[in-house]
Structure 1
Amino acid sequence: MLGFTGALAAGLMTSVGAVPVLFGRAPSRATRDMFLGFAAGVMLAASFFSLIIPAIDAAAKTFGDGAIPAGIACLGILSGMIAVHLMNELLPHEHFTSGREGPEAASLRRVWLFVIAITIHNFPEGLAVGVGFGAHGFEGGLPLAIGIGLQNAPEGLAVAVALLGEGYSRLRAVAIAALTGMIEPLGGLVGAGIISVSAPLLPWGLSFAAGAMLYVISHEIIPETHRSGHQNKATLGLAVGLVVMLFLDVWLA
């Protein structure tokens, strides 16, 4: 329940981030890229400090220091990256900037292709929050839930603004942006459930969730923030997001 509730709270921050679209003019592209850079920084720090390092520590308690804990972490990271890559390849979806990816899906409406794309990217975030709660309880999951929630807010704003640009009404853009965050509670439930049932899976689950998030950072978020020539602001946002998540992780956990 902690994993589900924490991931739900983080997912709801997507709708909070989209709300300003209802009341004012959308922020500039440079500002949105800086916010997305912040999201990437939060996810990057969470991947290492909240997932990969605890995965190595958990494996070391069973196998001792040496190559085995490091090997488990490496294999788990690669498995998470491969899993998200396969979802990208096998599920039809669409990005507003790069267009359609995955199998041909002419029968699907564009809005649903986009929802599938966001689902692919939000599920690993919910998984990470759930794994954090399942592995170390409230102290282990709270920094992740706060960090992922913080990065979901600019992501929700970016989705709503992109939908506005495609001709959707303000209310519908905010509603769709909010719905894209609702896959995260499912990921949280899956992650917490697997880790709670089988303790030996703990290092694998932590590193798998980290790999899934790292793939999203590299494949989607950073290229998107650099696409329009705002890489300096995006890098500033990434730096701020990274240190904020690092501070939260050390302080709260």
Structure 2
Amino acid sequence: MEQVFIGSILSALSTGLGAVPILFLAKSITHRWRDILLAFSAGIMMAASMMSLIPEALQAGGFFALTVGLFLGVLILTILEMTVPHIDLEHTKKGIAFDEKAMLIIAAITLHNIPEGLSVGVSYASNAAETGNLIALAIGLQNAPEGFLVALFLIHQQIGRWKAFMIATLTGAVEIVTSLLGFYLTSIFRQLVPYGLAFAAGAMLFIIYKELIPESHGDGNERTSTYSFIAGILFMIFLAESF
């Protein structure tokens, strides 16, 4: 229990850690570097899904549990995408009131973090303890550039640096709650573990292919983003083999 609590806090607060540079940097960063960060995050999540979550789900419940859980994760993310307004970090419409825009970005990012928190909690409930640490690390590494980009977006909307930093940090806090929820549910109902692991994998794969990769290719930086994506995969493999 202590391990999942610490892991969920560290992975969630990494969103705020990623936003720290915004307190010292200029208000703008090149689109090229944003794409590199997004693609690197996608590589990290891809390696975590394919090397840890999917193999664990197969081992614990077989192909049927993997298929059901994976498609359930994709379905939930699809519903969230259809019901929560998506705000493009670079091409936002003008003229939206400050308060409304702030609430939209907070709601979108917070709901986006729910399946990530569940991924951490479910992973700690699996028989392999190192799986939880690996997924918490992967989600944390993915959250850092996300926190930076969210804070940068808010600053562009004339929100103060410290306020943008605090908002970015708080959007990750929901992962602590959902992580504990995922851990408790799969600990009580052990038969849910393979479905939960597959659900986490499906949610992460959806985010990778639907959000991170397309956004990293949005400004003609496809080749650089591809290299960054591969580097993210190798980086996650290196960490998995080292710890």
Q: TM-score, normalised by structure 1?
A: 0.87
Q: What is the rounded CA distance, in whole Å, between the counterparts of 1:79 and 1:97 in structure 2?
A: 30
Structure 1 residues 228 and 202: alpha-carbon distance in aligned structure 2, compared to 1, 3 A threshold: same
Contact residue 72 and residue 203 of structure 1 kept, 8 A: yes
**Equivalent position of 1:14 in the other structure:** 15
Of 13, 35, 45, the residue aligned with 1:43 is: 45
Partner of 2:127, secondary structure, is: helix
**Equivalent position of 1:158 in the other structure:** 149
**Equivalent position of 1:87 in the other structure:** 80
Q: CA deviation at 1:137?
A: 5.8
2:32 maps to 1:30: yes
2:78 maps to 1:77: no
* Number of equivalent positions: 237
Of 175, 183, 200, the residue aligned with 1:184 is: 175
Q: CA deviation at 1:79?
A: 0.7
Which runs of no fewer than 5 residues in structure 1 stay unpaired? Answer: 60-68, 101-105
Q: What is the rounded CA distance, in whole Å, between the counterparts of 1:43 and 1:187 in structure 2?
A: 18
Structure 1 residues 40 and 217: alpha-carbon distance in aligned structure 2, compared to 1, 3 A threshold: same
**Equivalent position of 1:229 in the other structure:** 220
2:54 maps to 1:52: yes
Equivalent positions of 1:80-229 (< 5 A) are 80-92=73-85, 94-97=87-90, 109-136=100-127, 138-229=129-220
Q: What is the rounded CA distance, in whole Å, between the counterparts of 2:235 and 2:152 in structure 1?
A: 25
Q: CA deviation at 1:138?
A: 3.8
Q: Percent identity?
A: 39
Contact residue 77 and residue 212 of structure 1 kept, 8 A: yes
**Equivalent position of 1:244 in the other structure:** 235
**Equivalent position of 1:65 in the other structure:** none
Q: What is the rounded CA distance, in whole Å, between the counterparts of 1:109 and 1:98 in structure 2?
A: 17
Partner of 2:218, secondary structure, is: coil
Structure 1 residues 98 and 201: alpha-carbon distance in aligned structure 2, compared to 1, 3 A threshold: farther
**Equivalent position of 1:103 in the other structure:** none
Q: TM-score, normalised by structure 2?
A: 0.90
Q: What is the rounded CA distance, in whole Å, between the counterparts of 1:90 and 1:160 in structure 2?
A: 23
Q: What is the rounded CA distance, in whole Å, between the counterparts of 1:243 and 1:93 in structure 2?
A: 30
Q: What is the rounded CA distance, in whole Å, between the counterparts of 1:50 and 1:161 in structure 2?
A: 32
Q: CA deviation at 1:3?
A: 2.5
Q: CA deviation at 1:168?
A: 1.4
Structure 1 vs Structure 2 CA RMSD? 1.9
Contact residue 115 and residue 203 of structure 2 kept, 8 A: yes
Which runs of no fewer than 5 residues in structure 2 stay unpaired? Answer: none
Q: CA deviation at 1:27?
A: 3.2
Contact residue 76 and residue 207 of structure 1 kept, 8 A: yes
**Equivalent position of 1:5 in the other structure:** 6
Q: CA deviation at 1:120?
A: 2.3
Q: What is the rounded CA distance, in whole Å, between the counterparts of 1:120 and 1:214 in structure 2?
A: 16
The code of the aligned residue for 1:3 comes to V
